[in-house]
């Protein structure tokens, strides 16, 4: 896989240079495949040089961002999460409740409903005499600090830090000025006791660099005995979330880094997949995440999400609608494309429709974006709001 990824990155760089040269100022995110046709035929290592003979010698491609991935705390046993003391369950004491997915239950108006847990809760390895954890919290890979919330009362995450990691596998994004960047993966570290001096927005961090100390901060409070790191890995749904919340009169002091705008994958599964293949790119990993439901939708414009992550879009973007979109159990968009003629006619003049859902993948369906009524799957109000945000 190394040569292939390296060549893909060459393709990205070539594209960037072309844009800096003043060509194609078409705004964000043309699909990578369309920008670098034939630049990197598989296995033909000399091809990029030949194709760009007039260009100055480019620097060697950097290693994949996840290559140097480290655990986010001194806990070294993340490949064996069921071993004693690795994860921190909720008050229920069920180990499952510390893991990712529909693993929790909430009491809503006297009714017990499944609830989704977006990350994994890692237990401390060391405490002081007052039971306060002493564990450091580390950036798991090279990246840039994107957000720091220093006021624990403002969020159920308490004090938290978000780091962004550029991953060329998610495609290249070019803005109107011709500057280009790649799609970014976020990692989030929550319930912190204190954020280390100098860890602020914009700061570049290295894999293993200490961001904070583990704690138990949260708006509603977590007892010291259940101190843990809540760790997430995922993608941002909409960078204009702050505008969306203003327009919908939703209180939001976290801007785009509000947890309601961040959609995760199972961090322990990603960590294990990376341990098996250190070259793993995020888009490759997403190929292994099973879609939980597929939606057909029309909203009059192309969703920005796929402009930010162009490699998740399949085929031409066109000017057309409607769209076919596949979502993970957590609600993360995994793939999108234009709807086929059959799908478009099934949608008719509706704004959205569940095309397919996988009961097994949905399991306890804690996210509750879709539901089955009289044998037919449909979007819940929450699911429709999710689409509205995706298209905002």
Which residues of this protein are in contact with Zn ion, per CB under 5 A?
121, 230
Cis peptide before 322 (omega within 30 of 0): yes
Say how far apart CA 149 and CA 159 lie, in whole Å: 5
Least distance between Zn ion and beta carbon 230 (Å): 3
Question: Is the Cβ of residue 25 or residue 91 nearer to Zn ion in the bound state?
Answer: 91
Give least dist CB 269 to Zn ion, A: 15
User: Are 283 and 167 spatial neighbours (Cβ–Cβ below 8 Å)?
Assistant: yes
Output 170 or 222, the one with its CB closest to Zn ion.
Answer: 222
Q: Which is nearer to Zn ion, 230 or 274 (CB)?
A: 230
Nearer residue to Zn ion within complex by CB, 39 or 161: 161
Provide, rounded to whole angstroms, the least separation between the CB of residue 264 and Zn ion.
10
Nearer to Zn ion, 121 or 209 (CB): 121
Distance CA 255, CA 260 (A): 10
Q: What is the SS3 assignment for 123?
A: coil
Tokens standing for residue 313? 């879009």
Please enumerate in sequence order all residues whose Cβ is within 8 A of that of 385, keeping only pairs 6 or more positions apart, or say none.
Answer: none
> If we measure between CA atoms, which residue out of 336, 270, 263, 331 comes closest to residue 303?
336
CB crowding 270-290: b at 16 or more within 10 Å, else e: bbebbeeeeebbbbbbbeebe
Beta carbon nearer to Zn ion, 105 or 371: 105
Query: Cβ 239 to Zn ion, closest distance in Å?
Result: 24
**Shortest spacing between CB 231 and Zn ion, in angstroms:** 8
Query: By beta-carbon distance, which residue lies closest to Zn ion?
Result: 230
**Distance between CA atoms of 75 and 175, rounded to whole angstroms?**
40
Are the beta carbons of 176 and 184 closer than 8 angstroms?
no
Assign 3-class secondary structure to 244-302: HHHHCCCCCCCHHHCHHHEEEECHHHHHHHHHHCCCCCHHHHHCCCCCCEEEEECCCCC
Query: 6 or 123, CB closer to Zn ion?
Result: 123
Residue position matching structure tokens 């069921």 = 82
Nearest distance from C-beta of residue 260 to Zn ion, angstroms: 15
Closest separation between CB of residue 98 and Zn ion, Å?
7
Give the single-character DSSP code of 191.
E
Per the DSSP assignment, residues forming a β-bridge with 182 are 172
Work out how close the CB of 100 gets to Zn ion at its nearest, in angstroms, rounded to a whole number: 9
Using the minimum distance from each CB to Zn ion, give the nearer residue, 158 or 168.
Answer: 158
Q: Least distance from C-beta 65 to Zn ion, angstroms? A: 24
Q: Do residues 105 and 252 lie in contact, with contact meaning Cβ atoms separated by under 8 Å?
A: no
Residue closer to Zn ion by CB (options 170, 229) is 229
Distance CA 87, CA 271 (A): 14
């Amino acid at each position: 896989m190394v040569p292939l990824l390296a060549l893909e990155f060459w393709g990205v760089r070539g594209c960037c240079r072309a844009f800096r040269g003043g060509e194609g100022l078409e705004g964000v995110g043309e699909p990578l495949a369309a920008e670098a046709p034939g630049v990197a035929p598989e296995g033909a290592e000399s091809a990029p040089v030949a194709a760009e003979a007039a260009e100055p010698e480019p620097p060697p491609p950097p290693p994949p961002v996840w290559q140097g991935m480290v655990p986010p705390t001194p806990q070294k046993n993340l490949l064996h999460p069921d071993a004693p003391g690795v994860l921190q369950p909720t008050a229920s004491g069920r180990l499952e409740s510390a893991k990712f997915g529909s693993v929790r239950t909430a009491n809503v108006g006297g009714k017990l409903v499944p609830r989704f847990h977006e990350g994994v809760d890692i237990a401390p390895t060391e405490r002081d005499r007052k039971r306060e954890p002493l564990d450091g919290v580390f950036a798991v890979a090279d990246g840039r600090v994107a957000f720091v919330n220093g006021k624990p009362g403002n969020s159920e995450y308490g004090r938290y830090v978000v780091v962004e990691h550029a991953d060329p596998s998610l495609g290249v994004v070019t803005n109107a000025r011709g500057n280009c960047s790649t799609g970014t993966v976020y990692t989030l570290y929550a319930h912190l006791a204190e954020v280390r001096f100098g860890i602020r927005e914009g700061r570049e961090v290295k894999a293993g660099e200490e961001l904070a100390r583990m704690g138990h901060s949260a708006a509603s409070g977590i007892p010291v005995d259940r101190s843990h790191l809540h760790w997430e890995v995922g993608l941002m749904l909409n960078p204009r979330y702050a505008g969306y919340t203003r327009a919908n009169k939703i209180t939001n002091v976290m801007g785009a880094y509000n947890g309601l705008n961040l959609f995760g994958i199972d961090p322990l599964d990603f960590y294990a997949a990376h341990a098996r293949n250190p070259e793993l790119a995020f888009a490759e990993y997403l190929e292994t995440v099973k879609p939980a439901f597929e939606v057909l939708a029309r909203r009059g414009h192309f969703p920005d999400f796929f402009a930010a992550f162009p490699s998740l879009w399949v085929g031409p973007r066109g000017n057309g609608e409607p769209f076919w979109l596949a979502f993970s159990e957590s609600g993360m968009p995994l793939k999108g494309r234009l709807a086929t003629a059959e799908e478009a006619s099934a949608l008719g003049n509706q704004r959205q429709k569940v095309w397919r859902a996988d009961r097994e993948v949905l399991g306890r369906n804690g996210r509750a974006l879709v539901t089955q009524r009289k044998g037919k799957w449909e979007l819940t109000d929450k699911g429709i709001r999710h689409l509205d945000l995706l298209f905002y």
